[in-house]
A and B are shown apart, each in its own frame.
Chain A
Amino acid sequence: MRKVLMGNHAVSYAVRLARAEVVAAYPITPQTQIVEMLSEFCAEGSLDATFIKVESEHSAMAACIGAASAGARAFTATSSHGLLLMHEMLHWAAGARLPIVLVNVNRALGPGWNVWTEQTDSLAQRDTGLMQVYCESNQEALDSVLQAFRIAETVRLPVMVVLDAFILSHTEEPVDVPSQEEVDAFLPRYEPEWRLDPADPRAFNMLVPPEHYMELRLLIQKAMDDALHVAAEVDAEYGRRFGRSYGIVEAYRLEDAEIALVTAGASSGTARVVVDELRSQGVPTGLLRLRLFRPFPARAIARLLSRVDKVAVIDRNISFGHGGIFAAELKAALYHEPQRPMVFEFIAGLGGRDITPATVRGIVGYLQGHDQPPASPLWWEVKA
């Protein structure tokens, strides 16, 4: 059924369709509508879940960990400082190999207080062991949440689905909401092999000495390796069932591109429009949209970009003392390629500053006017 939904509500619908059993969440702008709608669903009985109104985000993830450990499908949502407060428990959820789904609404970090979109919050969790999926639209948010449960429960890793603050979270778009029967066929009941069960009592997450710790960590890495193809397979299956698939990385008009833009999230939509515009002007431009960030699809990216002349990475995030995070990872992926593009790094749109078509055009123009990137990333459209 088609509905006009804000991104946050699309997420709520997905969580209901996924038949989440335990939701534990703490409100933070701009995530609040996700949990408010889920509260209503639970209260009216359309979602048969326990909603634990925890007193902080750290407790939210801890409660999800408790719930998933006892065999329930668990979900939470947060943003920015809430995600940061959850940081310890994100590591814990991954190390505990629990298929918790977390939706993070990308929001800038304080001080100063800033509620608008930026990707640093989620990217600062890149080492935690959670998978990460970046969405361009509200439809993709709904679809990615459903896929996330399935992928998570297959590879035994938590998955974070990310959407931009306000641009997606609060903007209403038409969304196709699948039927419960279709989703049930795609996403069976969660039945974990390992769980807290008085009939088979075991201890979980205890002390692990050096002689075993590294192997357990290696197993997480291997799960991430598996997740690359599992994510692709699940997305393909989703496409067959629901008519929509996204790939783990999207290549838009990249086949013969000389200039490639690299984006993630809502700004990809803006970039897409500019690519079409430039193409109509004869500029061979393409777009690489990063969707799956963890595990990082290094080979796919390297394959797609190696023959391109110049790449402009638009990082709506910053790792102080280094640069944009997408750019750094992408350059590492290209390192061994015999043919490599010039990679230009742009820091743009921090703290909700708009990335407009003009912004993107300007970036392409810069590439056209320069053979080499400067030594440091370019902070775009800031006062000098």
Chain B
Amino acid sequence: MSYAIPERELLHPGHVACPGCGAAIAMRLALKALGDDLVVIIVASCWSIIAGPFPYSSLQVPTLHSAFETGGSAASGVKAALRKRGRPDTTVMTWAGDGGTFDIGFQALSGAVERNEDFIYVCYDNEAYMNTGIQRSSATPWGAWTTTTPVAAPKDTPKKDMVAIIASHGIPYTATASIGYPEDLVRKLQKAAGIRGSKFIHILSPCPSGWKSEPEETVKIARLAVQSRIFPLYEVERGERYTVTVNPPPVPAIEYLRRQGRFNHLSVAQIEEIQANADRAWEALLKRAAASA
């Protein structure tokens, strides 16, 4: 195997993700990373549907579907019970979309990580409320079209910096990941599983349906997000130590943006602004990494 990724498959085919779904790749990789001593909590998001309808499931690990806001709270209960019932080392992973993380689930997430609950919270981020039809979330990037930020009035606020917010809770481990770099993603999940306390992983999951991109380019786009510095890959330990984990040769942001119909309306000046913002944030990240090394 030329990828340092565990062999064991814990996801069945027959799930109902769109062709080329980035979130399906993310889940498949996450399950491979974590193995079968695992309980997954899925809150309302595309994966509530993707997993399959009653009486079927595509996951080969115990799965608790829960209400939209409860990613942090349901997991807290599950972990407490598993400890009580003789499974203190079983990994508990919340699998939530950007809606359930950045917006409606923010409170329960913040509450859970403030308590340093022992679980991995994974946000698979397709940058809008995709399951309900591509409406904007606070994870939607500046300038993007969504059904509630139409072309005449695209998203005019920047993407919320969730990693910074969660890292500022001082939890043991926070990281970004991209399906375009599967080994980095797997390594981070495995690292998280070996740490006691709260861990937050933010995975960029391109969505061809919502981003208006070609299904075959999903992985390419996930890679371009990192190469263009728009979605850098790094980890934060104990809220203070920053490490950039993947640093590929840079690619202009336009390469990332032009493959997605949700950015088609951008003017040259807007693209330049996106580029400038990404460059600035990247420089700031590098400085932070250097300062905390």
User: How far, in Å, is B244 (CB) from chain A's closest CB?
Assistant: 33
Contact B111–A70 (Cβ < 8 Å):
no
The CB with the most chain B CB atoms within 10 A, among A66, A72, A216, is that of A66
Contact B57–A63 (Cβ < 8 Å):
no
Instruction: Please pick, from A52, A62, A70, A216, the residue contacting B39 in the complex, using a CB distance under 8 A.
Output: A70
User: Which A residues are CB-close (under 8 A) to B64?
Assistant: 66, 69-70, 196, 203-205
Task: Tell whether B169 is near chain A: CB-to-CB under 8 Å.
Answer: no
User: How far, in Å, is A202 (CB) from chain B's closest CB?
Assistant: 6
Task: Tell whether A157 is near chain B: CB-to-CB under 8 Å.
Answer: no
Task: Tell whether A74 is near chain B: CB-to-CB under 8 Å.
Answer: yes
User: Which A residues are CB-close (under 8 A) to B48?
Assistant: 206-207
Task: Tell whether A251 is near chain B: CB-to-CB under 8 Å.
Answer: no
Tell me the complex Cα distance, A209–B54, Å: 7
User: How far, in Å, is B74 (CB) from chain A's closest CB?
Assistant: 4
Task: Tell whether B37 is near chain A: CB-to-CB under 8 Å.
Answer: yes
12 contacts between A and B (CB under 8 A): A21-B81, A24-B73, A50-B83, A55-B107, A55-B110, A58-B73, A59-B107, A62-B77, A203-B52, A203-B65, A206-B54, A208-B53
Q: What bracket does the count of chain A residues touching chain B fall in?
A: 35 or more
Task: Tell whether A53 is near chain B: CB-to-CB under 8 Å.
Answer: yes
If the complex has contacts A56-B111, A89-B67, A207-B53, are A66 and B77 also in contact, measured as CB distance less than 8 A? yes
User: How far, in Å, is B18 (CB) from chain A's closest CB?
Assistant: 16
Interface-side segment among B84-92, B198-206, B216-224, B261-269: B84-92
Contact A206–B76 (Cβ < 8 Å):
no
Contact B73–A67 (Cβ < 8 Å):
no
Task: Tell whether B115 is near chain A: CB-to-CB under 8 Å.
Answer: yes
Task: Tell whether A264 is near chain B: CB-to-CB under 8 Å.
Answer: no
What mask results when residues 128 to 152 of chain A are scored 1 for a CB within 8 Å of chain B, else 0? 0000000000000000000000000
User: How far, in Å, is B69 (CB) from chain A's closest CB?
Assistant: 6
Task: Tell whether B51 is near chain A: CB-to-CB under 8 Å.
Answer: yes
Instruction: Please pick, from B39, B82, B87, B111, the residue contacting A54 in the complex, using a CB distance under 8 A.
Output: B111
User: How far, in Å, is A65 (CB) from chain B's closest CB?
Assistant: 6
User: Which A residues are CB-close (under 8 A) to B37?
Assistant: 198
Task: Tell whether B213 is near chain A: CB-to-CB under 8 Å.
Answer: no
Residue in chain A with minimal CB distance to B63: A203
Tell me the complex Cα distance, A49–B83, Å: 10
What mask results when residues 101 to 119 of chain B are scored 1 for a CB within 8 Å of chain A, else 0? 0000001101100110100
Tell me the complex Cα distance, A64–B75, Å: 10
User: Which B residues are CB-close (under 8 A) to A67?
Assistant: 77-78, 80-81
Contact B73–A59 (Cβ < 8 Å):
yes
Task: Tell whether B260 is near chain A: CB-to-CB under 8 Å.
Answer: no
What mask results when residues 190 to 223 of chain A are scored 1 for a CB within 8 Å of chain B, else 0? 0000001110111111111100100010000000
User: Which B residues are CB-close (under 8 A) to A62?
Assistant: 66-67, 69-70, 73-74, 77, 108
Contact A52–B77 (Cβ < 8 Å):
yes
Task: Tell whether B59 is near chain A: CB-to-CB under 8 Å.
Answer: yes
Q: Can you add 10 more A-B contacts, CB < 8 Å, to A66-B79, A92-B66, A204-B64? A: A21-B81, A56-B108, A59-B108, A62-B77, A66-B64, A69-B77, A88-B67, A203-B63, A203-B64, A205-B65
Contact B83–A196 (Cβ < 8 Å):
no
Contact A70–B38 (Cβ < 8 Å):
no
Task: Tell whether B250 is near chain A: CB-to-CB under 8 Å.
Answer: no
Q: What bracket does the count of chain B residues touching chain A fall in?
A: 35 or more
User: Which B residues are CB-close (under 8 A) to A209?
Assistant: 53-54
The CB with the most chain B CB atoms within 10 A, among A21, A58, A207, A209, is that of A207
User: Which B residues are CB-close (under 8 A) to A49?
Assistant: 84
User: How far, in Å, is B198 (CB) from chain A's closest CB?
Assistant: 13
Task: Tell whether A247 is near chain B: CB-to-CB under 8 Å.
Answer: no
User: Which A residues are CB-close (under 8 A) to B62?
Assistant: 196-198, 200-204
User: Which A residues are CB-close (under 8 A) to B65?
Assistant: 203-207
Contact A70–B52 (Cβ < 8 Å):
no
Contact B111–A212 (Cβ < 8 Å):
no
Residue in chain A with minimal CB distance to B48: A207
B residues near A (Cβ < 8 Å) are 36-39, 41, 48-49, 51-55, 57, 59-67, 69-70, 72-85, 87, 90, 107-108, 110-111, 114-115, 117
User: How far, in Å, is B231 (CB) from chain A's closest CB?
Assistant: 29
Task: Tell whether A377 is near chain B: CB-to-CB under 8 Å.
Answer: no
User: How far, in Å, is B105 (CB) from chain A's closest CB?
Assistant: 10
User: Which B residues are CB-close (under 8 A) to A216?
Assistant: 54
The 5 closest A-B CB pairs, nearest first, are A66-B77, A55-B111, A72-B81, A59-B73, A203-B57
User: How far, in Å, is B181 (CB) from chain A's closest CB?
Assistant: 28
If the complex has contacts A50-B83, A50-B84, are A204 and B75 also in contact, measured as CB distance less than 8 A? no
Instruction: Please pick, from B75, B79, B85, the residue contacting A71 in the complex, using a CB distance under 8 A.
Output: B85
The CB with the most chain B CB atoms within 10 A, among A65, A196, A205, is that of A196
Contact B60–A201 (Cβ < 8 Å):
yes
Contact B108–A55 (Cβ < 8 Å):
yes
Task: Tell whether A22 is near chain B: CB-to-CB under 8 Å.
Answer: yes
Contact A69–B78 (Cβ < 8 Å):
yes
User: Which A residues are CB-close (under 8 A) to B115?
Assistant: 52-53
User: Which B residues are CB-close (under 8 A) to A21?
Assistant: 80-81, 84-85
Tell me the complex Cα distance, A22–B51, Å: 28
Contact A66–B73 (Cβ < 8 Å):
yes
Task: Tell whether A68 is near chain B: CB-to-CB under 8 Å.
Answer: yes
If the complex has contacts A22-B84, A206-B52, A209-B54, are A74 and B67 also in contact, measured as CB distance less than 8 A? no
Tell me the complex Cα distance, A196–B70, Å: 17
User: How far, in Å, is A340 (CB) from chain B's closest CB?
Assistant: 42
Instruction: Please pick, from A58, A74, A208, A212, the residue contacting B77 in the complex, using a CB distance under 8 A.
Output: A74
Residue in chain B with minimal CB distance to A71: B85
User: Which A residues are CB-close (under 8 A) to B81?
Assistant: 21-22, 66-72, 74
Residue in chain A with minimal CB distance to B62: A196
User: How far, in Å, is B54 (CB) from chain A's closest CB?
Assistant: 4
